[in-house]
């Protein structure tokens, strides 16, 4: 499988983000990638106002445009978006929550099967003084799709701190796990991210393909604490924990080739999935 990671910096304009995503889908297709992974919140960034006012259903303009572009290009795209979810009563009144969705759409090759899956983020980012669950409804189901002869599991950002989810995905058949991300910066956060991506690959003996939002403000803002806006460092990690490809803080794009032979070899050598 050829897999591309698109490290973008979403702007508070859904139309502009849609155009940027579609342009990169076409680029990945022209370079013969099978799968392209975009960050969490590709549709609209965190920290730029109420998400319920820009959320769209899975048959809305954003998802439909991405879906049609990927299908026409004969590639699968995984893109982070927000969809309407529910309303809850809080001390501050009624809140209209959204689903934080990793949408996987397109075709498994030019003449292949249609892919259309939606993973709703299970673990909300209720940490470091931030409460994602106030505005985002937690999901409760694992999701998979098929691409280039491999089974791909879906996860999102803060999920990376929960090894059981990655083990469950692997035991359910995942050979690759994609992780759209909008990781917050701050002291130690880059090191945590790099450690966690490698650890989850080792826990689950899968390929990890994690695409993060680039660092808003670039290098001038590196290391400063903020909300979940982005720290870059998108990465492909092998099932033995080896980083195969990695980006830095700024916007970028990288492609890696992954295979089942390496995965099968690691699983034979380190059979951790059968030990607990």
Residue 121 designated active-site = yes
Catalytic residue among 22, 56, 121, 167: 121
Residue from 22, 40, 124, 143 carrying the catalytic annotation: 40
Cα–Cα dist 143/151, whole Å: 10
3-state secondary structure at position 263: helix
Max CA pair span of the chain: 54
CA atoms within 13 A on the CB side of 50: 6
For residues 33 and 28, give the distance between their C-alpha atoms in angstroms, rounded to a whole number: 5
Q: Which residues contact 133 (CB under 8 A, 6 or more apart)?
A: 124, 126
Instruction: Please confirm, yes or no, whether 56 is among the known catalytic residues.
Output: no
Which structure tokens are listed for 257? 């080739």
Cα 77 versus chain centre, distance: 10
Q: Interhelix angle for 61-73 vs 14-30, to 10°?
A: 10
Coil, strand or helix at 243: strand
Q: What is the DSSP string of 92-141?
A: TEEEEEEEEEEEEEEESSTTS-EEEEEEEPSS--EETTEEGGGTB-----
Among the listed residues 132, 147, 157, 246, the single catalytic one is 157
> 66: helix, coil or strand?
helix
Catalytic residue flag (residue 221):
no
Distances (CA, A) of 253 to 56, 59, 72, 129, 216: 27, 28, 21, 31, 16
Active site residues: 40, 121, 157
């Amino acid at each position: 499988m050829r897999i591309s990671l698109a490290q973008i910096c979403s702007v508070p304009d859904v139309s502009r983000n849609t155009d940027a995503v579609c342009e990169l889908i076409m680029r990945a297709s022209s370079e013969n990638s099978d799968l392209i992974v975009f960050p969490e919140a590709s549709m609209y960034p965190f920290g730029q106002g109420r998400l319920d006012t820009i959320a769209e259903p899975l048959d809305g303009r954003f998802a439909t445009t991405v879906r049609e572009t990927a299908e026409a290009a004969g590639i699968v795209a995984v893109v982070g978006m927000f969809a309407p979810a529910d309303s809850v009563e809080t001390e501050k009144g009624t809140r209209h929550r959204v689903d934080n969705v990793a949408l996987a759409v397109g075709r498994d090759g030019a003449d292949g099967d249609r892919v259309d899956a939606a993973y709703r983020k299970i673990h909300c980012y209720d940490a470091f003084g931030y409460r994602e669950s106030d505005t985002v409804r937690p999901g409760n189901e694992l999701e998979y799709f098929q691409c280039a002869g491999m089974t791909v599991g879906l996860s999102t950002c803060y999920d990376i701190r929960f090894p059981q989810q990655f083990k469950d995905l692997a035991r359910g058949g995942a050979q690759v796990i994609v992780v759209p991300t909008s990781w917050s910066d701050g002291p130690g956060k880059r090191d945590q991210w790099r450690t966690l991506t490698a650890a989850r690959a080792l826990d689950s003996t899968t390929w990890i393909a994690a695409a993060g939002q680039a660092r808003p403000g670039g290098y001038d803002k590196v290391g400063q604490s903020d909300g979940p806006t982005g720290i870059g460092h998108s990465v492909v990690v092998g099932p033995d924990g080896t980083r195969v490809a990695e980006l830095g803080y700024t916007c970028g794009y990288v492609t890696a080739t992954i295979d089942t032979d390496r995965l099968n070899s690691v699983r034979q050598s380190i059979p951790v999935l059968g030990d607990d």
